[in-house]
Amino acid sequence: MKPSLNFGTLFGTLLLAAILPGAAQAQHASARAQTHGCHLPGVEDALRCLKLPVPLDPARPGAAHPGQTIQLHVTIAPALREGARPDPLFVLAGGPGEAGSEVLPILNTAMRRVRPTRDIVFIDQRGTGLSGKLECESGLDEDSSLSDDEIDAALVRCIRASKAPFAAYTTANAARDIEQVRRALGYGKINLWGGSYGTRLGQAYARAYPGNVRTLILDAVAAPDQVIPAGGRDSQAALDKLFGQCDADPACRKAYPGLRAEFDGLVAKVGKGLTISLPDPRTARQVDVKMTGARLLGTVHGMLYSPADARRLPFLVHSAAQGRWQPFVARRNLGADSTPEGSSATLLYLAVICAEDMPRFTPALIASDDAPLTRDFARRLPGLCRAMNVPAVALPAPTTIEAPVLLLSGALDPVTAPHRAASAAQYMAHAQLLSAPNVGHGVSQLGCAPRLLRAFLDHPERKVDGSCLNEIPAPTFQLGSAGPQP
């Protein structure tokens, strides 16, 4: 399955404004929302943090009984310059299940041109990160001794053991939480940057609170009518592009002349059940690994998100087809080797997908979208959603977003391909679409993109020249154990 300006006085507020450039524009907010200095993983800078109580059920905002509020974690990276602009940039992470505090390193990549002149606000969406993360036993999906059915059974036990009211964890409620954060921090109009699922959340906020949005930047765009589990055709198109690029590269074609047939052979072999005995890539001890369809195809699908990672796939597929599974298993283990804090909130993911996407994941759509990379997931999801038992959330008819929007897409993206951005733009009055030909899932941190973000935020009425995105090079293929070609 596939993450307190604690000053109570005016003196403290004014002192903060003098010490931290860019905090001055929110002076009036400090008396309303107490924050404190904090350090979080991934960023060396001192930041400001806030714990903001919000209603668990916005239909009952006055509820004060314990358990009827959620403590939202908010991280503020103050602008670096004096006299910063009053409109901050709110960052909405992906997933659903990823937290704002888990993507803080983008301050030094995607946001490096924006931060000098604007506060950047990261919200841990309800049910993620430091906002009451809804998760199961860490590393459950990485236990190579378990079958897919055994993993699902453990997930069902986790779901049933949870006391969380999953129906409260919707995109609409998360959008209301953003508004509570904006009000608590005393900002006027805000800018929104959303990545992947964050683009769905950003669009929901812009439609619910149109008067409070100055601009939106949407990267890896989810269309309003997109059903997240229905990604088979897009993922297959990305895999076909990769195979085609290998075939067009003389060195790759020479190294892996039968790549497509080898991949199809692995899929067939794993489909019949395959247990591999090999030295554990971490410990060198002999272990038995159940290579299931979900493990094989989930790993391939995940690697397609990043072209640099995807171009290792021919080597991994060829090695596995020759009976040498160690490189593939080592790559598979990368997920388990990440820290538990960095893992996505599994139950939050299911709460959103089961309520908002599964009602639209009809048998007809499942049949038309059928493809190997997502087939196992499509098979397993209904049972998990039955255990979640959340009421269906109707898809609202999308209204037109009037604020200027910059939409970024990677042409190699296996989940939010450029046609998704084009579909979303149909409901936007002032949309600019940019596509990067050699990029996968996420553009903002690459090449000239950070400069384009700043240019758009400073002058959203001007046309952004995205031709420089064509200069982001395609990574080289890995042709042997030594790694990618120079």
184-206 pLDDT tens trace? 999 999 999 999 999 999 999 99
Classify residue 381 by burial, with Cβ atoms within 10 Å: 0-12, 13-18, 19+: buried
Positive/negative CA dihedral, 74, 80, 85, 91: negative
The last residue of one of the domains, among 290, 314, 337, is 337
In this prediction, residue 138 has a pLDDT band, given cuts at 50, 70 and 90, of low
Q: Is 426 within 8 Å of 203 (Cβ atoms)? A: no
Structural domain harbouring 198: 1-229+341-486
Residues 255 and 165 in one domain: no
In this prediction, residue 136 has a pLDDT band, given cuts at 50, 70 and 90, of confident
Residues 196 and 296 in one domain: no
β-bridge mates for residue 431, sequence order = 405
Structure tokens at 389: 């038992």
Say which residue, 65 or 258, is predicted with more confidence. Answer: 258
Residues 296 and 420 in one domain: no
Classify residue 323 by burial, with Cβ atoms within 10 Å: 0-12, 13-18, 19+: exposed
The last residue of one of the domains, among 291, 310, 337, is 337
Vertex 198 angle, CA 196 and 203, to 5°: 110
In this prediction, residue 16 has a pLDDT band, given cuts at 50, 70 and 90, of very low
In this prediction, residue 141 has a pLDDT band, given cuts at 50, 70 and 90, of low
In the predicted model, what is the mean pLDDT of the chain?
A: 88
What pLDDT sits at residue 35?
A: 87
**pLDDT tens-digit series, residues 387-420:** 999 999 999 899 999 999 999 999 999 999 999 9
Residues 397 and 329 in one domain: no
Beta strands 213-219 and 405-410, pairing class:
parallel
Residues 105 and 19 in one domain: yes
Residues 217 and 266 in one domain: no
What pLDDT sits at residue 21?
A: 34
Whether pLDDT at 248 is above 50 = yes
Residues 244 and 305 in one domain: yes
Question: What CA–CA distance (Å, rounded) separates 464 from 208?
Answer: 27
Question: What CA–CA distance (Å, rounded) separates 371 from 368?
Answer: 9
pTM greater than 0.85 (yes/no): yes
The last residue of one of the domains, among 288, 307, 337, is 337
Phi, psi of 265 (to 5 degrees): -65, -40
Q: Which residue type, as a one-letter code, is found at position 89?
A: L
Question: What CA–CA distance (Å, rounded) separates 104 from 93?
Answer: 10
**pLDDT tens-digit series, residues 222-236:** 999 999 999 999 999
Q: Which residue type, as a one-letter code, is found at position 166?
A: F
The 10 Å Cβ neighbour count of residue 52 is: 22
Residues 206 and 307 in one domain: no
Residues 201 and 261 in one domain: no
The Cα-based distances of 410 to 163, 230, 242, 345, 443 in angstroms read 39, 19, 14, 25, 6
Look at the block and give the residue holding tokens 């995807």.
Answer: 310
Whether pLDDT at 53 is above 60 = yes
Beta strands 190-195 and 213-219, pairing class:
parallel
- How many domains, in total, are found in the chain? 2
Among the listed ranges 95-109, 163-177, 285-299, 425-439, which one has the minimum average pLDDT value?
285-299
Say which residue, 114 or 22, is predicted with more confidence. Answer: 114
Closest C-alpha to 169, from 136, 227, 125, 226:
125
What pLDDT sits at residue 339?
A: 45
Residues 307 and 402 in one domain: no
